[in-house]
Structure 1
Amino acid sequence: MKKPPASTGRTDPFFDLLARPPHKQRLPDYLALLKPLDDQGRYLPFEALRYRWAAGLDANLCWALVKKARAAQYIHLLPLGEPVQWGKYVSTPLARKTLSVVDRHTSTAALEYMTSQIGERAHFSYLLNDLIEDEAIASSQLEGAATTTRVAKDMLKHQRQPRTPDERMVMGNYRMMNFAWEKRYEPLSVELIAEIHRVGVEGIDDEQYSPGMFRTNDEVVVQDGAGNTVHRPPPVTGLVLRLARLSGWINQPDGSILDNNFLHPMIKAITLHFALGFEHPFRDGNGRVARALFYWFMFKHEFAAFRYIAISLLLRNAPVKYGRSYLHTEADELDPTYFIEFQCSVILRAVVGFTEVYRKRLNDLRANHFAPV
């Protein structure tokens, strides 16, 4: 049996610090924090964890222990921003649960099976179109559109021309979702990102949005409801090159699922959503494009049921948490795990809602003795 290398006698200065007073007396309490998640399996930021540590512990040392544990499990995702930082990710129980549900219920094969079980008699296609409209409307309302869901649905169902800027926003999002579906087999490129934006915002207020045109200065910032700047995107210099770099990462072959660096398409799609929002390449409409690109990537990887799963419906009801997931990522050395965690919670609820609609419709049919066509 080969023996392990002999110790050099040098200790990690980090643990050496724990061996000294006053921390030595609380060593078990400190070492209990050497894990990436809290006791409930949550990936929390510093501002949330610091209230959960035992009284008398040094907050900076506690956080250093958590970060040390996370660093050991980081999966490097992609380079972001200028200067470049690597976005990294820790796999969590919530993410693994969401991936399992997505794999089982949203693949193209799963959707085909659901459709065959219900059949044409149930007018399933009508139900699905209704769900497509939900995403277009909710995404617009998330960006500030004031139109009601009922009025917006009436406009889309009857394909009447929009009468207000808010209705034009809804119609633009509807076209953008359909465009993402039509272009699902194209590789990502700077040109495709610009075209998705053009399709989504053209005709709303061209002077405000500059459809299909990237920002030309560093005046674009993200503000909170009180007008405070909460995100200043990377400089416009090098923007197109960074989008090309992002496209190259997205277009990389997935590789074998047995590979150590395999990344599930949903995690990659959420990261694309984050990266577009982080870069903020357009004067306005960035959130809509980022969400459309998430869908586009899921479509590309044969998760066709996402055409009928409205994540913006849930994001609209939690805009503060949506925004904070961006801020926590940026504040913590570009760790998108916070953003991925929040998106997984939203996607999980959206997929469960979608399957419940299907099961209710199927049970109604069985109760009325209808058989699939």
Structure 2
Amino acid sequence: MLTNEIFDHIYNEYTIKRYLNKPEILYRVQHEFLQIRANIWEEILEKRKMAGRKVPLKDQNGDFFWYMTTPPLEANLHNIDFVAKDKLENLVSEKIQNDIVMESIIDEAFYSSVIEGAFSTKKRTKELVQKKDPKNKSEKMILNNYNALMFILENLDKELDEDILIQLHKIITVDTLDDDEISEKYRDDMVYVMSENASAIEPIYVAPKPEDVQGMMDDLFSFIQDESKENYIHPVIKAWIIHFYFVYIHPFFDGNGRVARAISYMYLLKKGYAFFKFFSITSVLNRKTKKYYKAIKDSEDYGSDLTYFISSYSEITNESLTEVIERLYNEVQHEILLEQLESDEIILNERQKKFLSFMKKKESNICTINEYQKRNKVSYETARRDMNELQELGIFKKAKKGKKFIFKYLGLKGYSEY
């Protein structure tokens, strides 16, 4: 017999601690208890709605979307607020800020295209933004994304309205659409989102009817522009809701995901979350695509509950923040190292400086003479001499692995102890 006490235990485990969907909960409950109440999911859903908050945006059935704030979500929001609203002017130099902003824009342009099926490389992306002509559709997508991000940074004083949105979509999709995908404004036909599984016949999502798109978009813009105290929603949560609802409406034939990420990015920057300029959330999203699409599908399938998407995006954002903080730390350490070397009148050659810049970004802090030789296109003897000089300064630590020597990058810490 499933008592109220046991029900409370289930609710606490699978809503408060972890926010699971219907089949995930029923699977666990059926394995833990021999008998369950026939309507246990309906009871859980109703209790969630009672604890949740309605959003003034409707699904295709005319019901309002809603979400609830769980302790894990609150913790993620607290961390995002603590980091993303900090003033970097007091933490890192203007040069570091400018360099990382440019790198993050390049990352976002690249990964936001890759997640939509583009094929290219980070190296080629850097060439494209340096005014190289795109050779194919994938490269054009990447360059378009870069131009859209630059457009956002140049127009943060503008209201996020329909005009800005249409401009963004045109920038993002120029010269990448087929003839039947081009429309003056919003799509004028049905859109079906198919599974990546080639054998699947049924669509995994049917977007709203074209005649409903304008009204739903009007609701979205009203939601974006509502700054009243009584309807206040945490800006980060609101940005994620904007992202979700835009994808839900699917107002264009193509480019919806890229535009959704662009407008949520613009909204956060306009709300004072300047730290979002310094990292590419899509670089993490690209590694978590299954989690991302599952969160969207869960929100669509289980009671128009946005908590799945909001919670998932909060975790992805925090992972992005962790990466950029480590990146900033490495940049600061690198800058201090170069300043100390200059102060001590130690002159490195350009190859050595270039390699130190490479090592500060490398995931592994281990390298070899062969790696140095390959990156700098020099002889083995020149590479060995350069690396030994860096090792003598304490910047690298030399060790033997098998029959070969490896070098562990210590950076500022090693030099300071030298």
Q: Shorter-chain TM-score category? A: 0.7 to 0.9
Q: Distance in 1 between matches of 2:234 and 2:186?
A: 30
How much does 1:27 deviate?
Answer: 4.8
**1:83 positional shift:** 3.5
TM-score normalised according to structure 2 size: 0.75
**Match of residue 112, structure 2, among 139, 143, 146:** 139
**Contact 1:196-1:212 at 8 Å conserved across structures:** no
The one-character-per-residue Cα deviations of 1:13-66 (angstroms, maximum 9, x if unpaired) are xxxxxxxxxx36x4532342244x528811110121122212313264332332
Structure 2 partner of 1:19:
none
Q: How many pairs are equivalent?
A: 336
* Alignment TM-score, normalising by the size of structure 1: 0.83
Higher RCO (CA < 8 A, seq sep 6+): 1
Gaps of 5+ in 1: 1-22
Residue 58 of structure 2 corresponds to which residue in structure 1? Answer: 80
The alignment status of 1:49 with 2:22, answered yes or no, reads no
Aligned match for 1:71, one of 42, 45, 49:
49
Q: Distance in 2 between matches of 1:322 and 1:68?
A: 25
Identity of matched residues, %:
23
In the alignment, residue 163 of structure 1 is paired with which amino acid? K
Question: How many Å separate the matches in 2 of 1:181 and 1:211?
Answer: 26
Q: Is the 8 A contact 1:277 1:287 kept in 2?
A: yes
- The structure whose residues are more often helix, as a share, is 2
* Residue 217 (1) aligns with residue 189 (2): yes
Distance 1:209 1:356, change over 3 A: farther
Amino acid at match of 1:274: F
Aligned to 2:232: 262
Q: Which secondary structure state, in structure 2, belongs to the residue aligned with residue 283 of structure 1?
A: coil
- Asked if the contact 2:243–2:260 (Cα under 8 Å) also holds between the matched residues in 1, the reply is yes
> Secondary structure, in 3 states, of the residue corresponding to 1:329?
helix
SS of 2:64's partner is strand
Contact 2:100 2:278 in 1 (8 A): no
Distance 2:328 2:68 in 1: 33
| Maintained 8 Å contact 1:142/1:316 | yes
Cα offset, 1:231, TM superposition: 0.7
Structure 2 CA distance for aligned equivalents of residues 60 and 191 of structure 1: 50
Provide the rounded CA distance (Å) in 2 between the counterparts of 1:39 and 1:230: 25
The answer to whether residue 175 in structure 2 is matched with residue 203 in structure 1 is yes
Q: Which moved more, 1:229-238 or 1:92-101?
A: 92-101
Unaligned runs of 5+ in 2: 342-418
Q: How does 1:108-123 map to 2 (within 5 A)?
A: 110-114=87-91, 117-120=92-95, 123=96
Residue matched to 1:161: 133
Indicate the structure (1 or 2) with the bigger Cα radius of gyration. 2
Q: 1:148 to 1:369 in 2, by over 3 A?
A: closer
In structure 2, what is the Cα distance between the partners aligned to 1:145 and 1:304?
A: 28
1:247 and 2:217 are equivalent in the alignment: no
Q: Find the residue that maps to 1:237 and give its secondary structure.
A: helix
In structure 2, the CA distance between the partners of 1:354 and 1:67, relative to structure 1 (3 Å rule), is: same
1:269 and 1:298 in contact (8 A); partners too: yes
Deviations 1:189-241, CA, capped at 9 Å, x for gaps: 333222211111112235254266311012x1111112441111111113112
CA distance in 2, matches of 1:66, 1:149: 46
Contact 1:98 1:348 in 2 (8 A): yes
